[in-house]
A and B are shown apart, each in its own frame.
Chain A
Amino acid sequence: MTGEATAAVDSFRDYLERLEERDACNRIDERISWNLEAGAVTMRANERDAQIPVFEDVSDGTDARLVGDPYRGPRRQPWKHIAMALGVTDARTTDDFYEEIIDRVRSPIAPTVVDRDDAPCKDVVRTGGDVDLLSFPWPFLHVGDGGRYSNLHTLIADDRDTEWTDWSSHRAMLHDNTRASVLLLAGEQTPNIYYYKYERHDEPMPVAIAIGAEPAVECVSIMWIPTGRNEAEFAGGLKRAPVELVECETNDLLVPATAEIVLEGRVLPNSRLDEGPYGDYFGYMHGPRRSMPVLEIDAVSHRERPLIPFRVEWSEVGYAHNTTSSMEVACVGPDATLGLRAAGFDVEKLAPWPFTPRTVYVVSTETTRPDYLHELANFIFTTWGMLHVDFFVFVDADVDPFDQRAVLEAMSLYADPDADFHQFGAESMPKVPLNIYQTPEEKGDVQMGTSKAKTAKTYIDATRPEGAPLRSGSQVGDSERRERAREVLEKAGLSEETLDTAPVAPSGERR
C-alpha cells in the first residue's frame, strides 16, 4: 500500500473518497430503489468482489444516498479497506495488520468535544413533530424481511448507574415515522444495561444512533471493549488521533461529530414491537418474528445529502464477503486476540473463520496442554463468546488459523474423535436465537431477547500431541507461498488491485 495517505480518515465520506482514489468505489447515478434493488446490487457486488456501490439516486424524492457493504475488503485480505481507512499503510500480511491494530488498541487517545456549529452532523436538525424517519431511504433488503432496516450503525447509550457510555451495534427495524424496534439480546453490554437497569426501574434508556460514523467508531462498536472503559478513547487509539464528539439535541449523550445521520431517542421500558423476520447472518430467512424493545425517536440530525451505509447479511453464505465478515476479521479478530493475551493466555492469533460469522473461531496457541485449553475455552465461553460462538478449534502456533486447509489438516491429523472433541457446558449455555439449527419453537421462546433453549459449546483440540513429529514442509503453507508470489508479481508490474480481486473458486483457491 505504498503511496497512500498515512493518516486515518475522519469521516465516512472521506473514507469513500479514499476508496474512490483507489478505484474501489462505484458511484451509481442511475436510479436504484431502496426497495430490494440496492440490496440486490450490493449482493452481486459482494459475490463478485466488485467495487463498493454508492447509490447516488435512490428515488422517493430524497437526496440521501445509500452505500452497500462499505467495509467489505478483498477476499484474500478482508481487512484491507479498514486498514486503508485507519491509515495502516505498512501491513502486508494479516499478521502485520493484527499486530498494528493490537498496538493501537493498547494506546487509547481521549476524544475532544466540539461546538455544535463545528459538527457536520448538525447541518440539518429536526426535532419533535418534524421527525420523519421514513423520509430517509432505509433499505428493504430481503423479500421476507419484516421491515426496512438500519443495520450498520453505532448505538450509543449511557450506563444508568455509572459514567460509562457503551458503543455497540444493534440493528433497528423501522416501523413508522418515529418508532423502530431494536434487536437487544440480553447477555450483551447495552442490552444488559437496558433490561437489568433502565427497564427494571421502569425508565426509558436515552440513546443515540450514529449512522455513517467514521470508520474508527464503527470498528470499536463491534469490538468487545470491557465494561466501564471509554470506547471513544479506543476509537482514538485506532485512528491515532482524537475522535471529535458533539452533544445531542435532546439528551446528554455525546455522538461522533462527523456522522452522516444521528437519531436521538429513548428505548422505552416494558414496550415491545415486532422485529424480523430478517435475512440473517447465516444466510437464511429467520423466523419467527420477535418482540423487541421500542425505540422512540425524538430528534434527527444529519449532514447535507447524507449517506446511509448498510450491509446485506444474506450475501454472506457461500463464498461472498460482506461488511460483517470483513469487520470480524479486521476488528473482532485482533481485539479478541488482545483480550486473550491480556487475560494471560499466550495465544498467537484468534481468527473468526470465514463464512461462519461468530459461530466458529480458530485459535492458534503456543501452549497446548489439555488443562490450559480447557481453561482458555472456559474463559471465552463465559465472557464475550457466550452468546454467539458455538465452537472453537485450537491449533498450534505455527498453523495459520485463517488457512482453512491447514486447519482442516490439523483436525484430521491430530484431533482424536474420542479424546479431542470436548462438549463444554452441555445444556447450560444461553444462545442467540438466530441460528438455523434451532427449531422455531426454541427461537421463539425468548427471555429478554435471548433464547431460553440452551445449547452446548464445543471445542476441538487439533494441536499436535506432545512428541508428534513436525510434518515436513508444514511451516511453509500455501498462504506464504502465495504471498511470496504476490510480491514477485507486484515487482513485475501487476497492479495490487488486480491481485486482490482475482476470483476465488469454491474450494477457496484462486482460479
Chain B
Amino acid sequence: MTQYSTAEENLPDDTDGEIRLQVTDTNTKEIFVTRARVSRSATDLDDPEPLTVVRGPHENIKEDWYIEILESNPELEDIDDEVLRECIEYSRSESNVINARSEDARALLQYLVAVGEFESVSDAVRTIINAYMQDTYPELLDAYLDAKAEQLRDEMSTSFGENR
C-alpha cells in the first residue's frame, strides 16, 4: 500500500467531495497533483490509502488522514487547447461581458466597493476571479497565457507580412 503525505496548507477549506491536492509519494518522494477524496476516517472512502498531513509553520505536527486518488496529474490532460482557443475567439468577437445574477454576490461585491477595497464591481469581479484562477486553475491560466501569446505572435507575423 502506497503512503502519501501533504501539507495542511495544500488542503482546501472544504475537504468534502472531490478535491485537487498536491501529495508526495512517501516511498519515491515524487510530488504530484491528484484529483482525490480525503477524510480523517478510512471508512468514508471506497479505496483508502494512508495520508499524513503535516502542519504548523515548520510542518512538524502530523495528522493521520486517508486519501482515495481518483486521478494523478489531472491537469496534464484536462486542458483542451482547441476549446480554449474557441473560447478566446468567442470572447473577442462576440461578447466579453460576464453576466451572473446573484443578489448575494452583488451585495458582497457592492460592500467591497463601498468600503474602498475596489473601484467598481467590475474591478472586484475581475480581481477576485483572477486570484481564484491562480489558486485553483493555475494550469488553465498558464495555457490561456500561452494561447494568447501565440495568437498575438500570429497577428504580428501576419501584420508584418501584409506590410512587406
Write the residues of chain A forming the contact surface with B, with a CB cutoff of 8 angstroms: 35, 134, 140, 144, 146-148, 174-177, 202, 271, 273-274, 277, 284-289, 440, 444
Q: Which residues of A contact B28 (CB under 8 A)?
A: 134
Q: Which residues of A contact B7 (CB under 8 A)?
A: 274, 289
CB-CB nearest 3 A-B residue pairs: A440-B57, A287-B58, A175-B31
Q: Which residues of A contact B57 (CB under 8 A)?
A: 287-288, 440, 444
Question: Contact: B142 with A274, CB < 8 Å?
Answer: no
User: Which of the residues A134, A147, A285, A444 comes within 8 Å of B60, measured between beta carbons?
Assistant: A285
A277 with B58, Cβ < 8 A, contacts A134-B30, A140-B29, A289-B7 known: yes
Residue of B nearest to A139 (CB): B29
Write the residues of chain B forming the contact surface with A, with a CB cutoff of 8 angstroms: 7, 9, 22, 24, 28-32, 54, 56-60, 142, 149
**How many angstroms between the C-alpha atoms of A202 and B148 in the bound complex?**
13
Residue of B nearest to A289 (CB): B7
User: Which of the residues B22, B29, B30 comes within 8 Å of A274, measured between beta carbons?
Assistant: B22
A148 with B29, Cβ < 8 A, contacts A277-B58, A287-B57, A288-B59 known: yes
Residue of B nearest to A287 (CB): B58
Residue of A nearest to B56 (CB): A287
Question: Contact: A144 with B30, CB < 8 Å?
Answer: no
- Can you list 25 pairs linking A and B with CB atoms under 8 Å apart? A35-B29, A134-B28, A134-B30, A140-B29, A144-B54, A144-B58, A146-B31, A147-B24, A147-B29, A174-B29, A176-B30, A176-B31, A274-B7, A274-B22, A284-B58, A285-B58, A285-B59, A285-B60, A287-B56, A287-B57, A288-B9, A288-B58, A289-B9, A440-B57, A440-B58
Question: Contact: A287 with B29, CB < 8 Å?
Answer: no
Q: Which residues of A contact B30 (CB under 8 A)?
A: 134, 175-177
Give min CB distance, B114 to chain A, whole Å.
29
A176 with B59, Cβ < 8 A, contacts A271-B142, A288-B9, A289-B7 known: no
Total A-B pairs, Cβ < 8 A: 51
Q: Which residues of A contact B29 (CB under 8 A)?
A: 35, 140, 147-148, 174
**How many angstroms between the C-alpha atoms of A289 and B54 in the bound complex?**
11
Q: Which residues of B contact A274 (CB under 8 A)?
A: 7, 22, 31
**How many angstroms between the C-alpha atoms of A286 and B56 in the bound complex?**
11
Give min CB distance, B20 to chain A, whole Å.
15
Q: Which residues of A contact B59 (CB under 8 A)?
A: 144, 146, 277, 285, 287-289
Q: Which residues of A contact B32 (CB under 8 A)?
A: 175-176
**How many angstroms between the C-alpha atoms of A342 and B56 in the bound complex?**
47
**How many angstroms between the C-alpha atoms of A148 and B60 in the bound complex?**
17
User: Which of the residues A35, A147, A176, A286 comes within 8 Å of B58, measured between beta carbons?
Assistant: A286
Give min CB distance, A177 to chain B, whole Å.
8
Give min CB distance, B55 to chain A, whole Å.
10
**How many angstroms between the C-alpha atoms of A140 and B5 in the bound complex?**
15
Q: Which residues of A contact B22 (CB under 8 A)?
A: 274
Residue of B nearest to A138 (CB): B29
Q: Which residues of B contact A289 (CB under 8 A)?
A: 7, 9, 59
Give min CB distance, A481 to chain B, whole Å.
44
Residue of B nearest to A143 (CB): B60
Q: Which residues of A contact B9 (CB under 8 A)?
A: 288-289
Residue of A nearest to B30 (CB): A176
Give min CB distance, B123 to chain A, whole Å.
22
Q: Which residues of B contact A287 (CB under 8 A)?
A: 56-60
Q: Which residues of B contact A277 (CB under 8 A)?
A: 58-59
User: Which of the residues B31, B60, B149 comes within 8 Å of A144, measured between beta carbons?
Assistant: B60
Q: Which residues of B contact A284 (CB under 8 A)?
A: 58
**How many angstroms between the C-alpha atoms of A285 and B54 in the bound complex?**
13
Besides A146-B31, A285-B59, A288-B57, 16 new A-B residue pairs in contact (Cβ under 8 A), listed by A number:
A35-B29, A144-B58, A147-B29, A175-B30, A175-B32, A176-B30, A176-B32, A202-B149, A271-B142, A277-B58, A277-B59, A286-B58, A287-B58, A287-B59, A288-B59, A289-B7
Give min CB distance, B51 to chain A, whole Å.
16
**How many angstroms between the C-alpha atoms of A287 and B8 in the bound complex?**
13
**How many angstroms between the C-alpha atoms of A63 and B142 in the bound complex?**
38
Q: Which residues of A contact B149 (CB under 8 A)?
A: 202
Residue of B nearest to A34 (CB): B29
Give min CB distance, A363 to chain B, whole Å.
34
**How many angstroms between the C-alpha atoms of A277 and B9 in the bound complex?**
13
Most A CB contacts (10 A, CB to CB) among B56, B58, B149 go to: B58
**How many angstroms between the C-alpha atoms of A25 and B29 in the bound complex?**
29
**How many angstroms between the C-alpha atoms of A271 and B143 in the bound complex?**
12
**How many angstroms between the C-alpha atoms of A274 and B149 in the bound complex?**
26
**How many angstroms between the C-alpha atoms of A274 and B54 in the bound complex?**
14
**How many angstroms between the C-alpha atoms of A229 and B119 in the bound complex?**
49
Q: Which residues of B contact A148 (CB under 8 A)?
A: 29
Residue of B nearest to A145 (CB): B29
Most A CB contacts (10 A, CB to CB) among B32, B59, B60 go to: B59
Give min CB distance, A145 to chain B, whole Å.
8
**How many angstroms between the C-alpha atoms of A288 and B9 in the bound complex?**
10
**How many angstroms between the C-alpha atoms of A134 and B28 in the bound complex?**
8
Residue of B nearest to A286 (CB): B58
**How many angstroms between the C-alpha atoms of A284 and B30 in the bound complex?**
23
Q: Which residues of B contact A202 (CB under 8 A)?
A: 149
**How many angstroms between the C-alpha atoms of A360 and B70 in the bound complex?**
51
**How many angstroms between the C-alpha atoms of A505 and B31 in the bound complex?**
42
Give min CB distance, B11 to chain A, whole Å.
14
Most B CB contacts (10 A, CB to CB) among A140, A285, A289 go to: A289
**How many angstroms between the C-alpha atoms of A288 and B32 in the bound complex?**
19
Give min CB distance, B164 to chain A, whole Å.
26
Give min CB distance, B59 to chain A, whole Å.
5
Residue of B nearest to A436 (CB): B58
Give min CB distance, A170 to chain B, whole Å.
19
Give min CB distance, B136 to chain A, whole Å.
15
**How many angstroms between the C-alpha atoms of A66 and B60 in the bound complex?**
27
**How many angstroms between the C-alpha atoms of A209 and B99 in the bound complex?**
50
Q: Which residues of B contact A140 (CB under 8 A)?
A: 29
Q: Which residues of B contact A134 (CB under 8 A)?
A: 28, 30
**How many angstroms between the C-alpha atoms of A148 and B29 in the bound complex?**
7
Most B CB contacts (10 A, CB to CB) among A177, A202, A277, A444 go to: A277
Residue of A nearest to B54 (CB): A144
